[in-house]
Structure 1
Amino acid sequence: MVDLTALLTDLAAESEQLDALVAPLPPEAWDRPTPAPGWTVAHQIAHLAWTDHVAHLAATDAEAFYASVVSAPDPSRLVDDGAESFLAPPAELLDRWRAGRAALAAALAAAPAGEKLPWYGTGMSPTSMVTARIMETWAHGEDVADALGVRRPPTARLRHIAHLGFRTLGHSFAAHGRAVPTAPVRVELAAPDGDTWAFGPAEAADRVTGPALDFCLLVNQRRHRADLALVASGPVADEWLDVAQAFAGPPGVKREAAGSGHVGVTT
């Protein structure tokens, strides 16, 4: 069983790491563009604040959550409009994000174990919701770090994201209109502390290996596979690395190859 309290602790730590990165910034730095087209540093934090808000609705008032979905003027712009609606001067935006994530954590801690909370296109248990919030906070934190020219050290919290990336293999294919493979895939990742994180059957012919950080960057579409030290063995594993996405919804806009020197190898 996944420990919800431990997950909430990791979510708080991930949020605090990003908070410490943006809180000292001068106002003009909040206007820096990030790799997400049209999004500044402020948009990234506003997006997290908005998503925490709608997740709180899902955990506390399902009818209000559904109302927010059906009342969206343009469903294709739901995420962009949500971020825009939460934009504010830096100090106000920080306060809003901090208050919202604290309220969400309290609501999820109080949610009955196993209860399915409404979400976009699916239902999520409280533990799944927290895991998704860890993933989003980390991924959008990477966008902020890129904008600021900062490299954040990887932490053990990446294991949550790596596991989610593995579990969403089928979704990745389906989201791109491809048949979901039936062949199992083994994933073996080098953890930040030197350990190995493994998912999937050990005897699987299709395999993905490499650094855990690189795998998390790929499944969140924060780097192109050509810029990552991931090795795919077998046709299913190779195709997966082209379509991988751990987040819900339609295919995201993938990053262009930056030519960082790492090469995604297929064997």
Structure 2
Amino acid sequence: MSDAAAVLDDVCDEGDELDLLVAGLTEARWALPTPAPGWSIAHQIAHLAWTDRVALLAVTDAGEFAGEVEKALAAPDTFVDEGAAAGARLPAPELLAQWRAGRDRLVRALRAAPPGARFPWYGPPMSTASMATGRLMETWAHGQDIADTLGVRREPTARLRHVARIGVRARDFAFSVRGLAAPDEEFRVELTAPGGELWEYGPADAVQRVSGPALDFCLLVTQRAHRDDLAVRAEGTDAEQWLDIAQAFAGPPGAGRAPKGEA
């Protein structure tokens, strides 16, 4: 099994898990506000459906996707919210069906992509595995907002390794998007996986180090929880700074979440 095929299997599992969480909700519960300001549960699913749609264009029709990029450049601060709001206005059954169909079409298109394929995106072009990993990360992160809204504790799975990997690889981006110079040296990142094993990134003798539970690191880099509420630790000035600004997602810096004591 190729790396891309394995990631796509995990994408399907992540989507199915979130589907079970929202499938039985009433219209009233779809309208519940989530921790993302201005976004209901419907907005969260609508955003996932919108992103699956534009990802499918990137995979199958680069010309049409270029039009989506132009729309984003024309309204960089609002295009994501506008896409979510448009979908959130749909009746819940229609939105759910749209999300299901869209994620299925995207997975099938990615499975059919030729080896070595690369697709345009809002940042650098993406490989099949990278595109799939990005979709898994977003599904997990927005699913966390929904779970928090419903008061559901999700069991962390080994699928978090994809989210953690994006978070580590996006280190330099987190600095650059804030106009900061990224550190020259690699960091050591050691994360305790849900199964108890250690996920390791970077040289073992690095001076700058980050450690903690993989779940907490993923909540940090997706900005679903404040650093003060997580057991992620840094050694070194640069590593400390990174944990304050880390983000695994493309686009401008997010506002993040307030510490629980201030929420």
TM-score tier after normalising by the smaller chain length: over 0.9
Structure 2: how far apart are the matches of 1:162 and 1:121?
19
Alignment deviations for residues 119-161 of structure 1 (CA, whole Å, 9 cap, x no partner): 1132111110000000000000000011111111100000011
State how 1:1-267 maps to structure 2 within 5 Å: 3-71=3-71, 74-87=75-88, 88-259=90-261
Q: With structure 2 as the length reference, what TM-score do the two structures score?
A: 0.96
**Count of residues in Structure 1 that have an aligned counterpart in Structure 2:** 260
Unmatched runs of 5 consecutive residues or more in structure 2: none
Give the superposition deviation at 1:7: 0.7
Tell me how far apart the structure 2 counterparts of residues 227 and 250 of structure 1 sit (CA, whole Å): 23
Cα distance between partner residues in 2 of 1:115 and 1:23: 34
Letter in 1 for 2:259: A
C-alpha displacement of 1:112: 1.9
After the TM superposition, list the runs of 4 or more consecutive aligned residues in structure 1 that deviate by more than 6 angstroms. none
AA matched with 1:143:
D
- The answer to whether the 8 Å contact 1:113/1:125 transfers is no
Cα distance in 2 between the residues matched to 1:145 and 1:215: 18
- Aligned-partner Cα distance in 2 for 1:68–1:194: 42
CA distance in structure 2 between the partners assigned to 1:222 and 1:166 by the alignment: 16
Deviations 1:219-254 (A, max 9, x none): 001111000001100111111000100111110111
Query: Any conservation in 1 of the 2:71–2:79 contact (CA below 8 Å)?
Result: no
Task: Give, in whole Å, the separation in 1 of the partners of 2:188 and 2:71.
Answer: 42
Matches of 1:2 and 1:85, distance apart in 2: 36
Taking the aligned partners of 2:113 and 2:80, their CA distance within structure 1 comes to: 25
Amino acid in the other structure paired with 1:129: M
Q: Is the 8 A contact 1:226 1:259 kept in 2?
A: no
Deviation of the 1:31 alpha carbon: 0.5
Q: For the residues of structure 1 that align with 2:84 and 2:115, how far apart are their CA atoms?
A: 30
Q: CA RMSD in A?
A: 1.4
State how far apart, in whole Å, the 2-side matches of 1:114 and 1:137 are: 24
| TM-score, normalization by structure 1 | 0.94
- Give the superposition deviation at 1:68: 2.1
CA distance in 2, matches of 1:97, 1:29: 17
Name the structure 2 match of 1:263: none
Q: 1:2: Cα distance to partner?
A: 5.7
For 1:103 and 1:11, locate their aligned partners in 2 and report how far apart those are by CA, in whole Å.
13
SS at match of 1:76: coil
In structure 2, give the amino acid aligned to 1:74.
A
Aligned-pair identity in percent equals 57
Once the two structures are superposed, what CA deviation does each residue of 1:2-43 show, in whole Å capped at 9, x if it has no partner?
A: 611111110000000000000011110000000111000000
Distance 2:162 2:82 in 1: 28
